[in-house]
Amino acid sequence: MPSRAAAERIRKAIALVNSVADEAGDEEITPTEIAEAIRDCLELPEEELAPNVRRYLGEALDAVSDGMPADFVAMTLYAALGALREGGAKAELN
């Protein structure tokens, strides 16, 4: 079953990126803050994140470093969240 902590951290990173994409709020969110939220996800223990989830998170971190648009980063994080759910579904079937 996917880790609730992992899903919450990924959702937190998505919310942060979406706030940038929507240009909502008075505060300016920096790429450093977004990268930190993604790194928080990657710091979870190996058993909580499947390799493909880590790959998507790594791609999202690279996208932030490369200056890609927030929408692209968010889509990559959504893919990580979906992969996390898929990993849990496969584990339940076995």
Give the sign of the dihedral formed by CA 79, CA 85, CA 89, CA 91.
positive
Taking the CA atoms of residue 29, residue 33, residue 37 and residue 40 in that order, the dihedral angle to the nearest 10 degrees is -170
Asked if residue 41 has pLDDT above 60, the reply is yes
H-type alpha helices, the chain = 4-21, 31-42, 51-65, 70-93
pLDDT of residue 48: 85
pLDDT of residue 27: 65
Q: Which domain holds residue 41?
A: 4-93
Residue 80 maps to which CATH number? 1.20.120.430
**pTM for the whole thing?**
0.85
CB atoms within 10 A of CB 88: 16
Asked if 60 and 76 count as a contact pair (C-beta separation under 8 A), the reply is: yes
User: How many domains, in total, are found in the chain?
Assistant: 1
Rounded to whole angstroms, the Cα distance separating 75 from 91 reads 24
